[in-house]
Amino acid sequence: MQLPKHVTLKEVGPRDGLQNEKTHITTADKIQLVNLLSQTGLNYIEVTSFVHPKWIPQLADAVEVLQAIKREKDITYAALVPNMRGLERALQADIDEVNVFMSASESHNQNNINKSIAETFPILREVVTGAKNEHKNVRGYISTVIGCPYEGYIQPEKVLRVTDKLLEMGVDEISLGDTIGVGVPTQVESLLEELLKRYPTEKFAMHFHDTRGTALVNIMKSLDMGITKFDSALGGLGGCPYAKGASGNIATEDLLYLLDEMGIKTGVNMKSLLEAAHFIEQKLGKTVASKQMAIVRNEGSANVL
């Protein structure tokens, strides 16, 4: 087994986690959540989204949250940005990294963004150019890289075509999302084999949802293929509001347990992370889908928190 010595966890809970939650989280609570996450040792936090509040009402306070959080110097604070109007607001809020997004599946792109893949490229190019002019890092999310709720299995070549375009625009890193959590390691292997023929591993992060319990097996396969950056959400929060059956991201604390026990360094402290997960669990008023949090509840929070 070829395992890296160090892995970077990219925390997407405040954005990908909360965007699909029906329980209203106050601006003050979002700020506290990000501040708690900033104390865990994470060095990347996706804080919010500049998608129009009509689509994601939970994150309508993006500017306020970004302006009020206490920033730590070693942490990159990122946000999702769909278009030039979003970029203006993100820059106004002094974002560190601009995250654009689209799908590898034509139907999912149409359903999620209301545009074809071809129509999406020029919009993203404008945002990437605008962000680069302001010397911002840009991340490109590609969703439905393995399966699509409308089209089923997505061929790796489709993902490669979108990857080519995004990297050519100047995107710094691609996050490959198994948005509906259908993938298995053999499919991850086919996908990465195709992409790594042309690009180095450093260009990619993997973003797995745990809908069918396969997120960690897919992460293990990705690690074995040299990938060292993974998206995750504390408490296993999240999901895609437009993808039927999609459930949460892999829980950061469950991924951290696996990496810790295999001796792979992340810099993240489990106890601080569980405190942040406990905080948002209380605010959401529901039991989050994380194995580590289940253990905390079973053993009594006094022991762990």
Pick the closer one to a copy of itself by CB: 86 or 239: 239
21 counts as binding a copy of itself under rule CB under 8 A: no
Length of the chain: 305
Phi, psi of 113 (to 5 degrees): -110, -10
CB contact set of 39 (below 8 Å; sequence gap of 6+):
272
247 counts as binding a copy of itself under rule CB under 8 A: yes
295 counts as binding a copy of itself under rule CB under 8 A: yes
257 counts as binding a copy of itself under rule CB under 8 A: yes
Sort strands 152-153 and 147-148 into parallel, antiparallel or unpaired. Answer: antiparallel
Q: What is the distance between the alpha carbons of residues 214 and 224, in angstroms, rounded to a whole number?
A: 16
Among 40-48, 99-107, 169-177, 247-255, the segment contacting a copy of itself (CB under 8 A): 247-255
Among 9-17, 72-80, 162-170, 180-188, the segment contacting a copy of itself (CB under 8 A): 180-188
Pick the closer one to a copy of itself by CB: 13 or 86: 13
3-state secondary structure 123-153: HHHHHHHHHHHCCCEEEEEEECCCEECCCEE
Please, what is the minimum distance in Å from the beta carbon of residue 251 to a copy of itself? Answer: 8
| Catalytically annotated residue among 42, 154, 240, 256 | 240
Beta bridge partners of 100: 140
CB contact set of 77 (below 8 Å; sequence gap of 6+):
34, 45, 47, 66, 69, 71, 95, 96, 97
Residue choice 152, 213, 285, 300 for contact with a copy of itself (CB under 8 A) = 213
Q: What is the distance between the alpha carbons of residues 240 and 45, in angstroms, rounded to a whole number?
A: 18
Pick the closer one to a copy of itself by CB: 6 or 161: 6
Q: What is the distance between the alpha carbons of residues 14 and 70, in angstroms, rounded to a whole number?
A: 15
Pick the closer one to a copy of itself by CB: 1 or 302: 1
Pick the closer one to a copy of itself by CB: 19 or 214: 214
Residue 240 known to be catalytic: yes
298 counts as binding a copy of itself under rule CB under 8 A: yes
Q: What is the distance between the alpha carbons of residues 16 and 18, in angstroms, rounded to a whole number?
A: 6
Residues near a copy of itself (CB under 8 A): 1, 3, 182, 184-187, 189, 210-214, 216-217, 220-221, 244-245, 247, 251, 254, 257-258, 261-263, 291-292, 294-295, 298-299
Report, as residue numbers or ranges, the catalytic residues: 240
